[in-house]
Amino acid sequence: MDHNGFFGNWGGAYIPEVLHQTFQELKEEYRKSRRDPAFWQEYISLMSTYSCRPTPLTYAENLTHHFGGAKIYIKREDLNHTGAHKANNVMGQGLLVKRMGKTRVIAETGAGQHGMATATMAAKFGLECTIYMGEEDVLRQRPNVFWMEKMGATVIPVKDGSRTLKDAINQAFRDWVTNVDNTHYVFGTACGPAPFPEMVSWFQSVIGNEAAEQIMKYHGKMPSHIYACVGGGSNAMGIFQRFLGEQGVELIGVEAGGHGADSGAHAIRLSSPDATPGVAQGYKTMFLQNDDGQMKHTHSVAAGLDYVGVSPILSDLWDKNQVRFESATDTEVMQALDLTMKKEGIIPALESSHAFAGAFKEVGQLAKDDAIIINQSGRGDKDIFTIAHAFEDPSWKEFIIDRAREYSK
């Protein structure tokens, strides 16, 4: 990151003036914490006692035999507390909030995992908490809303624009400019104004650091390929960073193909020609927008990938050909999820299932003595309503109908 927050052509901090001072303080606290080895120690200790770090690297033997190519390893961020990689970033920012002496946190959430993690952190650290969530996502991710409220957070459904992640971000910013004195905005992904992209990636780097050690232990050499889904890009940055510049390791980001690259109903920013450079939500990156610069509606079966922009750091790595970007459609994702459950007894989140789908397309052609890592960013049981609906599961439908009948009495 340069002194203005840019990575190559991308990033920056396009913020309303009222936030200038608070960003100065945040940057300073972040800089101090990064230089302070005690901070990182406190962070690692917190994550290994309050959460399940290090998360395991699982050898997926059955999937490996099924495809007959390279060995498949799965990095299990689903086993983190709150069920996703999101906790890594949130607990880190929570420690910063304590250092800054703020008493209230706010966050946006798409799939609800970041909101969940933030509500958890707020409960643990005794902070007031408000979560902004697109109205459409509130419906898609009802179980997470329930838990956030139970942990004492206020969940505000956002009814503006496309009623998804980007609108929740706008609304969180509106809250922040109003309550800037006591409030920290726990940005959920490696996007937004500097220092968020770099800071969030730093907290997430714990994923790749562990994975590198684990793969050396189990496989004896570096993996040939690493797959991660890319919405905002924080889980991908988390696992990729450690392997950047490692000889023979190819990094693949899998974006949400929705109904297909030609359908217009997708969230493919870097692996389709649909996105163009733009500045919104405080940073410069490749956005899905029209010729006037108005953001388009995106679509994905996975709420957490349903987003118009992408991490400026990933745009830079894309520019420099250090990460390859692919996409997987909703249908491919459901198939990959189904196969993973049946073969391994593991339920990846719909977001993470994109990484699985991307890997499954290629792994059969890769050499048997090589290994790949798939980053399972989160667990899928939060998606039970969406997944059951997509599978048109008859017994689940019957259960819902019965339960509704009971409640409406």
Partner 1 sequence: MQLEQQLREQLRGKDILLMTHIVLGYPSFEVNREVIKQMVESGVDCIEMQIPFSEPMADGPVILKANQDSLAMGTRVDECFSFAAEITRQHNIPFLFMTYYNIIFKYGEEKFFEHAQECGITGLIVPDLPPEMGTSFLALAKSYQIAPILIFTPTSTDKRMRELEKYGNGFIYCVARRGVTGKKSSLDQEFNAYLQRCKNSTKLPLAVGFGIQSKEDIERLKGKADMAVIGSRTIQLVEAEGAEAVGQFIASLR
Active-site residue list: 86, 108, 377
CB 196 to partner 1: min, Å: 15
User: CA-to-CA distance for 300 and 86, rounded, in angstroms?
Assistant: 19
Contact residues toward partner 1 (CB under 8 A) are: 4, 12-22, 160-161, 166, 170, 173-174, 177-181, 276-282, 287, 289, 291-295
CB 24 to partner 1: min, Å: 9
CB 225 to partner 1: min, Å: 35
Are the beta carbons of 264 and 297 closer than 8 angstroms?
A: no
- Please, which residue, 248 or 277, has the CB nearer to partner 1? 277
Residue 16 structure tokens: 């309303």
- Please, which residue, 180 or 302, has the CB nearer to partner 1? 180
Length of the chain: 409
Amino acid at 38: A
CB 278 to partner 1: min, Å: 5
- Please, which residue, 208 or 278, has the CB nearer to partner 1? 278
Residue 69 structure tokens: 């190519």
- Please, which residue, 172 or 212, has the CB nearer to partner 1? 172
- Please, which residue, 266 or 382, has the CB nearer to partner 1? 266
Find, among 398, 373, 380, 394, the residue nearest to 339 by Cα: 380
Longest alpha-carbon distance in the chain: 64
Are the beta carbons of 69 and 369 closer than 8 angstroms?
A: no
Amino acid at 232: G
User: CA-to-CA distance for 269 and 213, rounded, in angstroms?
Assistant: 32
CB 248 to partner 1: min, Å: 39
Tokens 């937004």 identify what position? 192
Say what the alpha-carbon torsion angle 46, 52, 54, 60 is, to the nearest 10 degrees: -170
